[in-house]
Structure 1
Amino acid sequence: MATSARVLLQVRRDPRTIALLLLVPIVLIALLDWLFVDQPGVFDRIGAPLLGLFPFIAMFVVTSITMLRERTTGTLERLMTLPLTKLGLLGGYSGAFALAATVQAALVSALAFLLLGLDVAGSPWLIVLLAILNAVLGSTLGLFASAFARTEFQAVQFMPAFVMPQLLLCGLFVPTDQMARPLEILSYALPLTYAYDALERVAVEGAYDARLALDVAVLVGCTVLSVVLGAATLRRRTP
């Protein structure tokens, strides 16, 4: 709890991080609505899936950079001298970013459903929950990815290297079953594929079936696995 509170206080003192967390996804979803203002139904079809993907991207970038700062400034190294478990320490970071992800996804969803009139076949509340889950997944993946960067520039490079391929292969542009077989197989190994599938099934089809349950289970599993792998990258040092 102390770690979570410290991280949240640090984020609150950084206006640029707050803008990236809260304003950028809102601006993106508003631009998406404006882009298809003369094409009725298009925003309703793609707006809900992107409602969950935008927070995922923003949380990945913010979390990876913030965690890298903790590593490079020595803060994380000092914390590792305390009698805390690695999972407990990383759980504190995850909890802080999960709360930020919840606020972010809630604000974007409120804009889409209440002000922009987004209409979906399924439950809007389930879309909101999936958006929150995707944002939390993005934050935990960012925590894990930060272990492989040495500078903030390298952390930002993970965006095109790690996130963009998932966006291309998740089914947003081409349905996975219409891809070349190697790409289709690869897409099933990427968590964003299941995130997009869950959002699309609820928003477009209004489906509540075993496939949706599988998508959610994979997302939760990837979130937990990211925290465990992130904890494995931490090195405990004695004072």
Structure 2
Amino acid sequence: MFVDGGSVPVHHPAHHRAPSRLTGFLQLRPFVATTGRILRQLAGDHRSVAMILAVPSLVITLMYFMFSGAAYPPGAPSPFSSPFQSACLILLGLFPLFLMFVITAITMQRERASGTLERILTTPLRRVDLLAAYGTAFSIAAAAQASLACVVAFWLLDFQTVGSPAWVFGIAIINAMLGVGLGLLCSAFARTEFQAVQFIPLVMVPQLLLAGIIVPRAAMPEWLQWVSNAMPASYALEALQQVGTHPELTGVAVRDIVIVLAFAVAALGLAAVTLRRRTP
């Protein structure tokens, strides 16, 4: 802008500089800022923190005393010395999937209902940055959950696996990432928090039933086996069972981990596509 006797430089924010980017995929500063906001918001919700951190360890402890002294019935297929070993392995691996799905779907719907999501999407923050921030924040929460649960199970309750406990921990984190992705995806189709909760019996319960927890997949009717093969929880459980029975990471376990990761990435991608900018 020019005035009599000289000039005054004016820097318009729209032309000052382009936002920084992380390898052309994520905008680094908005991504970090949004991740921090979500973590601070989650830390302020003491009930959610208690559910994420304390509930899995409490349930595992309850199962330990419930199965104390119990033995498998004759002919029951299990590679473990007690029912607690089998149940604890399943819980350590699949509880993060279920719990992070519930928390993510409800939290995302709360953001939408309060108008926070709509305000965020009017900023230069892209959908992929927002969803990546949610995925990162809740994965950090899931890591804290898995760490505490594994410490309680392995060091306090004498839980044992043939494979390394680190792989149980790693698979739990991957399953939590899958739960976050599915929760973000399903929240896009919910109008209220109650509708978000209704996705639990629709999306999660069939996966847990058909994963082989109650009835082995090979004993199911063939058409149910095909349905089970299309559900990521089946591969998550199979990877855990491989770690529980083999000292080294097997090819089947690696394949299952890759499949679960692919489902998680696909869910996040679909969530970015279906995320609405305006709340109906």
| Shorter-chain TM-score tier | over 0.9
Alignment deviations for residues 191-219 of structure 1 (CA, whole Å, 9 cap, x no partner): 10000000011113445222111100011
In the TM superposition, what are the counterparts of 1:35-46 in structure 2 within 5 Å? 35-39=66-70, 41-46=82-87
- Shift of residue 20 of structure 1? 1.4
Query: More displaced, 95-104 or 37-46?
Result: 37-46
Corresponding residue SS for 1:149: coil
Q: Does 1:235 align with 2:276?
A: yes
In structure 1, distance between residues paired with 2:109 and 2:247: 40
Q: Which residue of 1 aligns with 2:204?
A: 163
Q: In structure 1, give the amino acid aligned to 2:46.
A: P
Preserved contact between residue 202 and residue 208 of structure 1 (Cα < 8 Å): yes
**Which structure would you say has the larger Rg?**
2
Structure-2-length-normalised TM-score: 0.81
Q: Which residue of 1 aligns with 2:36?
A: 5
Preserved contact between residue 242 and residue 250 of structure 2 (Cα < 8 Å): no
RMSD of the alignment, in Å? 1.3
Preserved contact between residue 188 and residue 276 of structure 2 (Cα < 8 Å): no
Gaps of 5+ in 2: 1-31, 71-80
Corresponding residue SS for 2:266: helix
- Shift of residue 75 of structure 1? 0.8
Match of 1:50 among 77, 91, 103: 91
Match of 1:32 among 39, 63, 67: 63
In structure 2, distance between residues paired with 1:185 and 1:27: 35
Query: More displaced, 37-46 or 121-130?
Result: 37-46
In structure 2, distance between residues paired with 1:9 and 1:208: 36
Q: Which residue of 2 aligns with 1:83?
A: 124
Match of 2:113 among 72, 79, 84: 72
Q: Which residue of 2 aligns with 1:126?
A: 167
- The structure showing larger relative contact order (alpha-carbon pairs under 8 Å, at least 6 residues apart) is 1
In the TM superposition, what are the counterparts of 1:65-214 in structure 2 within 5 Å? 65-206=106-247, 208-214=249-255
Gaps of 5+ in 1: none
In structure 2, distance between residues paired with 1:134 and 1:141: 11
Query: More displaced, 190-199 or 205-214?
Result: 205-214
In structure 1, distance between residues paired with 2:182 and 2:43: 22
- Shift of residue 45 of structure 1? 2.5
Q: Does 1:16 align with 2:47?
A: yes
Q: Does 1:218 align with 2:266?
A: no
In structure 2, distance between residues paired with 1:141 and 1:122: 28
Matched-pair identity in %: 45
Structure with the higher helix share, 1 or 2: 1
In structure 2, distance between residues paired with 1:32 and 1:192: 21
In structure 1, distance between residues paired with 2:104 and 2:219: 33
Q: In structure 1, give the amino acid aligned to 2:147.
A: A
Structure-1-length-normalised TM-score: 0.95
Preserved contact between residue 201 and residue 212 of structure 1 (Cα < 8 Å): yes
